Chain A
Amino acid sequence: MRLQWIFILVLTALIGVGSALPAWAGEPITATFWYSYGGKVRQVTEDMVKKFNSSQTKYRIDGSFQGDYFQALAKIRAAITTKTAPTIFHVIGEAMPDLWQGGMFENLEPYVKSTGVKTEEFVQPLSQHGYFDYFGKSVPLFAIPFNRSMPVMYYNKDMLDAKGVKVPTSWDELRDAAAKLTVREGNDVKTWGFEVPVDWWFWHGLLYQAGGSLLSADGKKAAFRQKGGEALQYWVDMVNKQKIMKRPGGKDYNAWEVTNTDFITQKAAMIFTSTAFVNYLTENVKFKMGTAFLPKKEKFAAPTGGTFFVMIKDATPAQKEAGWAFIKWMSEPAQAIYWSQNTGYICTSEPAIKSAEMQKFYRDNPNYHVAYEQLKYAQRMPFTPALIRIQREAIQPNLEAPVIGLKTVDETMAAAEKVANDILAGK
Chain B
Amino acid sequence: MRRQTLLGYALILPSMAFFSAFYIYPVVYSFYLSFFTWDMLQPKRFIGLTNYRELLEAAEFREVLGNTLAYSVGVVVLAMGIGLALALLLNNRTALSSLFQACIFTSYIVSWVAVSLLWIWMLDPQYGLVNYVAGFLGVPPVDWLGNHRLALWSLVGVTVWKVIGYPMIIFLAGLQNISQDYYEAASLDGASAWHQFRYITWPLLAPTTVFLFITLTIATFQGFDIVNIMTQGGPVHATSIYVFYIYEQAFHYFRIGRASAAVIICFGLILALTYAQHRLFRRNVHYTQVG
Of the candidates A70, A104, A251, which one forms a contact with B41 in the assembled complex, judged by CB atoms under 8 Å apart?
A104
Q: Any chain B CB within 8 A of the CB of A217?
A: no
- Do A401 and B236 have beta carbons less than 8 Å apart? yes
CB-CB contacts of B229-257 with A at 8 A, as 1s and 0s? Answer: 00111111100000000000011111000
Taking CB as reference atom, which chain B residue is nearest A98? Answer: B41
Interface residues of A in 95-115 (CB under 8 A from B): 98-99, 101-104
Interface residues of B in 235-291 (CB under 8 A from A): 235-237, 250-254
Taking CB as reference atom, which chain B residue is nearest A254? Answer: B232
B252 to chain A, nearest CB (A): 6
* Bound-complex Cα distance A254 to B140 (A): 24
- Do B146 and A77 have beta carbons less than 8 Å apart? no
The DSSP consensus for interface residues of chain B is loop
- Do A400 and B235 have beta carbons less than 8 Å apart? yes
A249-B125, A406-B148 given as contacts; is B236 within 8 A of A392 (CB)?
Answer: no
Taking CB as reference atom, which chain A residue is nearest B237? Answer: A397
| B235 contacts across to A, CB distance below 8 A | 249, 400, 404
Taking CB as reference atom, which chain B residue is nearest A248? Answer: B146
- Do A250 and B234 have beta carbons less than 8 Å apart? yes
- Do B126 and A267 have beta carbons less than 8 Å apart? yes
CB-CB contacts of A159-177 with B at 8 A, as 1s and 0s? Answer: 0000000000000000000
- Do B236 and A400 have beta carbons less than 8 Å apart? yes
Of the candidates A81, A101, A188, A392, which one forms a contact with B252 in the assembled complex, judged by CB atoms under 8 Å apart?
A392
CB-CB contacts of B36-54 with A at 8 A, as 1s and 0s? Answer: 0001111000000000000
* Bound-complex Cα distance A103 to B43 (A): 11
| A188 contacts across to B, CB distance below 8 A | 141
| B39 contacts across to A, CB distance below 8 A | 77, 98, 102
A268 to chain B, nearest CB (A): 11
Q: Any chain A CB within 8 A of the CB of B143?
A: yes
- Do B233 and A251 have beta carbons less than 8 Å apart? yes
| A77 contacts across to B, CB distance below 8 A | 39-41, 254
Taking CB as reference atom, which chain A residue is nearest B147? Answer: A404
- Do A251 and B231 have beta carbons less than 8 Å apart? yes
* Bound-complex Cα distance A310 to B107 (A): 43
Taking CB as reference atom, which chain B residue is nearest A247? Answer: B146
Q: Any chain A CB within 8 A of the CB of B145?
A: yes
Taking CB as reference atom, which chain A residue is nearest B144? Answer: A249
Q: Any chain B CB within 8 A of the CB of A187?
A: yes
* Bound-complex Cα distance A105 to B231 (A): 33
Q: Any chain B CB within 8 A of the CB of A78?
A: yes
- Do A250 and B232 have beta carbons less than 8 Å apart? yes
- Do A251 and B40 have beta carbons less than 8 Å apart? no
A392-B252, A404-B235 given as contacts; is B41 within 8 A of A249 (CB)?
Answer: no
Q: Any chain B CB within 8 A of the CB of A74?
A: yes
CB-CB contacts of A223-259 with B at 8 A, as 1s and 0s? Answer: 0000000000000000000000001011110100000
- Do A252 and B232 have beta carbons less than 8 Å apart? yes
- Do A389 and B145 have beta carbons less than 8 Å apart? no
* Bound-complex Cα distance A103 to B40 (A): 11
- Do A78 and B234 have beta carbons less than 8 Å apart? no
B228 to chain A, nearest CB (A): 10
| A247 contacts across to B, CB distance below 8 A | 146
- Do B40 and A81 have beta carbons less than 8 Å apart? yes
Q: Any chain B CB within 8 A of the CB of A80?
A: yes
* Bound-complex Cα distance A81 to B143 (A): 41
Q: Any chain B CB within 8 A of the CB of A158?
A: no
- Do B232 and A249 have beta carbons less than 8 Å apart? no
| A249 contacts across to B, CB distance below 8 A | 125, 143, 145-146, 235
CB-CB contacts of B92-128 with A at 8 A, as 1s and 0s? Answer: 0000000000000000000000000000000001100
Q: List 11 A-B contacts (CB under 8 A).
A: A74-B251, A81-B40, A98-B41, A102-B42, A251-B231, A251-B232, A262-B126, A397-B236, A400-B234, A404-B236, A406-B236
4 pairs of A and B residues whose beta carbons are closest in the complex: A102-B41, A249-B146, A74-B251, A251-B232
Interface residues of B (CB under 8 A from A): 39-42, 125-126, 140-141, 143, 145-146, 148, 231-237, 250-254
Q: Known pairs A98-B41, A104-B41; list 4 more (Cβ under 8 Å).
A: A98-B39, A102-B41, A250-B232, A389-B253
